[in-house]
Amino acid sequence: MSHRRHSPPLRAAFLACVCALAIAGCKDASRTGQQADNVPKDETADEFIARVNREYKEMYPEFTSSQWLSSTYINDDTKLLAAKGNERFLTQLKRWLEQAKRFEGQKMSPATARAINLLKLGTSMPPPKDPAKLTELTAIATDLEGQYGAGTWCRDKSDPKSCRQLGDLEEVLRNSRDYDEQLQAWQGWHTIAQPMRGEYQRFAELVNEGARDMGYADAGEMWRSGYDMSPTEFAAETDRLWGQVKPLYEQLHCYARTKLEAKYPDKGSVAGGLLPAHLMGNMWQQDWSNLWPMLVPFPDAGDLNITATLEKQYQAGLNDLLIQENETMPAEREADIVHRAQLDQARRMTERAQDFYTSLGMPKLPASYWEKSQLIKPRDRDVVCHASAWDMNMSGDVRTKMCIKPNEEDFTTIYHELGHIYYDLAYNKQPPLFQNGANDGFHEAIGDTIVLAMTPRYLQSIGLVGEQKENQEALINSQMRMALAKVSFLPFGLMIDRWRWGVFDGSIKPGDYNKAWWRLKAQYQGVAPATPRGEEFFDPGAKYHVPGNTPYTRYFLSHILQFQFYKALCDASGYKGPLYACSFYGNKVAGQKFWAMLDKGASQPWQSTMRELTGNGKLDAAPMLEYFAPLQTWLKQQNEGRTCGWTVPAANPQAAQATKPAKAKPATGKS
Ligand code: X8Z
Ligand code: ZN
């Protein structure tokens, strides 16, 4: 449930008000003498959950429509509707939770007990009891996401032509290796978050109040309660996993720093051996793939330039359209044609991703997917470009929202998003409260498991890369390509929620928001800004998931889980060689095994679902380490004789405390 919009803001899961009730005569109970909310008097717990499931599904499309509209057409009207839609949903959630209290301590089926617990965790935005505060909360949430989506930086405030949005600024980081140009793009984007600080502070107060009203110590503890173990155990699990993979990250960090120092003499690292934030080819340093030309281990060992091929495909499509036109066509017509060619290319890329899923025996996407999705950035309005997948009605109206460009990053993101969509489609037969991932990390890992199976051989077979050599150098290249996306991500996947857990539990104070952020960036990622970032900035707000209120530890989990899933599916397909060379493309046995996991949804603890697929009910980074073993050996050789690692700059004791993983409070019995 809580995931229908995977990544987007409120992820409210359940919906707003039971609007069907309103139509059927949702009258003021005090005047009619009826019991409030039309709750049947002698309802059993099982009947209660059956009713919630029914009401939930009924109200759902109205809620998702309001959210879809405000994400794909940002203006004051759609923001109002989205805030109200969310408010109605959260009000209804509060009602259901109130009603559920009757059954505390009573005997009920395990499925019903599970459903009631999932109901409590049905939102990442716990609603305060006070209706006025709930109204305030949903308005802030919608506004923060809208600010992010419409975020624009103008180099010269008096010249609209100098204005740039995230996509353009990311393009600079992707392509330019000029130190100052990158710095300007990076700083420019981060200005958009400055006005969010006050609202974010209030947002944190309000969700904390909601979490306390629901019996949690704070919103962070509530977020950590969705993993079929206590919040304390969960926090410890993430530390354990980070301990497993940290040595690999440190080797990659060391290698990258050497290359950066060679490329930018005296400026390739910051004091203490940290990597300059604006030089990593990515706004948040979470994916270093764009540094490929600088970091490629063996430049002559074969070509893996997917972006070049995608761009060529786009250009060819554009030329085909232009050839049919008059040379003297007006500029407007040309802009239409360019737009058309971009859409065609985005469709081609999406069809290619769909093909992987259907090769496993999964169904084609419904026609409505192609009609209703937003594949590219509209020209006439602001939208939230951050990619997301939506289940609009739990009955097949699935969509993705992206601003696809012909590059490798977006290409793999489409595979990622379709993972969400196929999960949605697979568990649509489950009762609504079980229509969710086994945990949120599972939801994020499905598409990425497929991405791991996009081996050089697969890419060659679909014509995206040229003839592939099979030798040690080509292997290290292909491992580096994966590592720049997957290994570089790991500490980032942890640090965002380390920051939010600290904000929510009060160990990070509003006056230290930025300081604590950069301290965590330094501690986990070994990254630092090249210029001072004082409290006049609010750098966390420049990453979608903070204004969008999407919990982030899910992505860290996913980066561990996807290697576990990948290994299990390779085994299922009968594959025998080294893990990194396996692709289960076209293998129906693997496909069936995958689908069997997806259609379970959240109906049982994730550990059981995991055991059914992999034979092991625990999170484990061993498959990831097995996958990257050749690269890790190679990196160690490259780094020999160098001093690897980095030192976190000293800061005042308050900020230092914020770097400790937020201490989770004792279990409240809610997990
Ligand atoms: O937000 C996403 C997806 C949507 S769930 C595009 N991801 C994280 C990010 O972009 O920060 C995928 C990887 C990490
Ligand atoms: Zn996702």
321 and 240 within one domain: no
655 and 568 within one domain: no
- Pick left, alpha or beta for residue 396 (phi over 0 → left; psi -120 to 50 → alpha; otherwise beta): left
Distance 419 CA to ligand 2 centre (A): 8
Contact 125, 10 (CB under 8 A): yes
Count of other CB atoms within 10 angstroms of residue 233: 14
Which positions ≥6 away from 181 have C-beta within 8 Å? Answer: 172
Residue pLDDT, tens place only, 355-365: 999 999 999 99
* Side-chain-facing half-sphere of 79: CA atoms under 13 Å: 19
210 and 184 within one domain: yes
408 and 490 within one domain: no
Query: Is 400 close to ligand 1, i.e. is its CB under 6 Å away?
Result: no
For the chain, which ranges sit under pLDDT 70? 1-37, 651-671
Spatial separation of the C-alpha atoms in residues 407 and 529, rounded to whole Å: 27
- Given the CA of residue 284, which atom of ligand 1 is nearest to it? 11
Whether residue 18 is contained in a domain is answered as: no
Distance 417 CA to ligand 2 centre (A): 6
Which positions ≥6 away from 274 have C-beta within 8 Å? Answer: 522, 526, 527, 528, 646
494 and 408 within one domain: no
369 and 417 within one domain: yes
Q: Looking at 603, 621, 644, which one is the last position of a domain?
A: 603
Query: Is 542 close to ligand 1, i.e. is its CB under 6 Å away?
Result: no
Q: Which DSSP string do the residues of 577-619 spell out, in sequence order?
A: S-GGG---TT-HHHHHHHHHHHTTTTSS-HHHHHHHHHS--S-
Task: Please report, for residues 112, 285, 337, 346, 621, the alpha-carbon distance to residue 324 in angstroms, rounded to integers and kept in the order given.
Answer: 62, 43, 11, 21, 54
Spatial separation of the C-alpha atoms in residues 322 and 324, rounded to whole Å: 5
**Encoded tokens for 641:** 């004789």
Contact 227, 671 (CB under 8 A): yes
Amino acid (one-letter) located at 166? L
314 and 177 within one domain: no
Burial of 73: CB neighbours in 10 Å, binned 0-12, 13-18, 19+ = middle
247 and 380 within one domain: no
**Encoded tokens for 407:** 């590059």
Whether residue 86 is contained in a domain is answered as: no
R_g of the chain computed on alpha carbons: 25
Whether residue 153 is contained in a domain is answered as: yes
Q: Which residue, judged by its Cα, is nearest atom 8 of ligand 1?
A: 555
Q: Which residue, judged by its Cα, is nearest atom 6 of ligand 1?
A: 387
Position 327 scores a pLDDT of 84
Position 36 scores a pLDDT of 56
Query: Is 524 close to ligand 1, i.e. is its CB under 6 Å away?
Result: no
Distance 669 CA to ligand 1 centre (A): 31
How long a stretch of residues is the chain?
Answer: 671
- Given the CA of residue 387, which atom of ligand 1 is nearest to it? 6
653 and 593 within one domain: no
- Pick left, alpha or beta for residue 125 (phi over 0 → left; psi -120 to 50 → alpha; otherwise beta): beta
Spatial separation of the C-alpha atoms in residues 131 and 129, rounded to whole Å: 6
Whether residue 233 is contained in a domain is answered as: yes
Q: Which residue, judged by its Cα, is nearest atom 13 of ligand 1?
A: 555
Query: Is 423 close to ligand 1, i.e. is its CB under 6 Å away?
Result: no
Structural domain harbouring 361: 306-468+553-603
How many whole angstroms from its chain centre is CA 513?
22
Rounded to the nearest 5°, which phi and psi values hold at 400?
Answer: -115, 155
**Encoded tokens for 648:** 């976190």
Q: Which residue, judged by its Cα, is nearest atom 1 of ligand 1?
A: 7
Distance 401 CA to ligand 1 centre (A): 12
Query: Is 388 close to ligand 1, i.e. is its CB under 6 Å away?
Result: yes
Whether residue 371 is contained in a domain is answered as: yes
With the most atoms of ligand 1 within 8 angstroms of its CB, the residue from 145, 170, 386, 484 to mutate is: 386
Query: Is 413 close to ligand 1, i.e. is its CB under 6 Å away?
Result: yes
Whether residue 498 is contained in a domain is answered as: yes
Q: Which residues pair with 388 in a beta bridge?
A: 401
Q: Which DSSP string do the residues of 240-278 spell out, in sequence order?
A: HHHHHHHHHHHHHHHHHHHHHHHHSTTTSSBTTTBEEGG
Position 600 scores a pLDDT of 98
Query: Is 5 close to ligand 1, i.e. is its CB under 6 Å away?
Result: no
175 and 237 within one domain: yes
Catalytically active residues, by annotation: 386-387, 416-417, 420, 444, 545, 555
Q: Which residue, judged by its Cα, is nearest atom 2 of ligand 1?
A: 7
Position 303 scores a pLDDT of 80
Amino acid (one-letter) located at 422? Y
DSSP secondary structure letter of residue 153: E
Which positions ≥6 away from 239 have C-beta within 8 Å? Answer: 661
Whether residue 81 is contained in a domain is answered as: no
Contact 459, 353 (CB under 8 A): no
Q: Which residues pair with 163 in a beta bridge?
A: 154
Contact 628, 502 (CB under 8 A): no
Spatial separation of the C-alpha atoms in residues 370 and 363, rounded to whole Å: 14
Checking 588-596 for CB contacts under 8 A at 24+ apart, the result is 588/360, 588/361, 590/360, 591/359, 591/360, 591/361, 591/362, 592/361, 593/568, 593/569, 594/360, 594/446, 594/449, 594/565, 594/569, 595/360, 595/361, 595/362, 595/426
Count of other CB atoms within 10 angstroms of residue 29: 12
Handedness of CA 177, 179, 183, 185 (dihedral sign): negative
With the most atoms of ligand 1 within 8 angstroms of its CB, the residue from 413, 452, 556 to mutate is: 413
For residue 171, the domain's CATH number is: 1.10.1370.10
**Encoded tokens for 4:** 């229908």
Q: Which DSSP string do the residues of 160-191 spell out, in sequence order?
A: GGGEEEHHHHHHHHHH---HHHHHHHHHHHHG
Q: How many domains does the chain have?
A: 2
311 and 280 within one domain: no
Which positions ≥6 away from 192 have C-beta within 8 Å? Answer: 147, 148, 151, 152, 153, 541, 542
191 and 294 within one domain: yes
Which candidate, 536, 424, 505, places its Cα nearest to that of 191? 536
Whether residue 622 is contained in a domain is answered as: no
